[in-house]
């Protein structure tokens, strides 16, 4: 475990589970878990918001670079129901992401060199689509074949202090609905590094 105070308002905590003993002790799968706590984010100034965003970007970039190279295709998935405020984080993030995959493919002359192909989807929820999120993503991943999924969801917390002030990152996947005890299959992206006949699929475990 590592802890770092960026300043008096931003704190980063990292936990790395590296073996089965760690899994049993903490009760989570092997991987890296990062928590960014930002005090008084709800009343932060523009400068403070930008600083918090930069800290989040740095941590996310480090986590991504562990698994894929800088030009690998990434699919961003925004989970949740856009019509219910506590569950609308995922769709709202998707609406503010710069999508580049189609521009790189069809209008490459307008794209800066080194731009990563980014695609995004907000698959909705079972109650409005009648389709499990995992089923939707399996079809998209099979067709688009991204090298990495970034899945965004709202965080349920027992502590009111964490509302609008905590961001958690991990590379172990996500279980939609786990925060409200609606347990479903874990979403994660399995891939093998190879030069031909690569297998990439989203699956539940």
Return d(Cα 201, Cα 151) in angstroms, integer: 15
pLDDT band at 97; cut points 50, 70, 90: very high
Give 40 or 9, the one with higher predicted confidence: 9
Q: How far apart are CA 5 and CA 12, in angstroms?
A: 6
Q: 40's torsion region: left (phi>0), alpha (psi -120 to 50) or beta?
A: left
CA distance 182 to 168: 19
Residue range 2-203 in CATH 3.40.50.1450: yes
Please state the rounded mean pLDDT for residues 69-81.
94
Res. 156 pLDDT band, cuts 50 70 90: confident
């Amino acid at each position: 475990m590592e802890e770092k105070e960026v300043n008096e308002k931003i704190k980063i905590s990292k936990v790395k589970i590296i073996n089965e003993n760690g899994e049993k002790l903490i009760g989570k799968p092997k991987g890296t878990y990062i928590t960014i706590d930002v005090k008084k984010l709800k009343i932060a100034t523009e400068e403070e918001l930008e600083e918090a965003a930069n800290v989040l970007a740095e941590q996310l970039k480090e986590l991504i670079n562990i698994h894929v190279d800088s030009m690998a295709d990434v699919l961003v998935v925004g989970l949740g129901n856009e019509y219910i405020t506590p569950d609308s984080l995922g769709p709202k993030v998707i609406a503010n992401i710069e999508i580049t995959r189609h521009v790189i493919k069809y209008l490459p002359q307008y794209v800066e060199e080194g731009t990563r192909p980014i695609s995004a989807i907000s698959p909705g929820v079972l109650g409005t689509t009648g389709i499990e999120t995992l089923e939707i993503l399996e079809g998209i991943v099979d067709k688009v074949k991204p090298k990495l999924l970034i899945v965004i969801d709202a965080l349920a917390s027992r502590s009111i202090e964490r509302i609008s002030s905590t961001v958690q990152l991990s590379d172990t996947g996500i279980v939609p609905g786990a925060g409200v005890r609606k347990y479903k299959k874990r979403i994660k992206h399995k891939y093998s590094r190879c030069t031909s006949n690569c297998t990439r699929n989203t699956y539940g475990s």
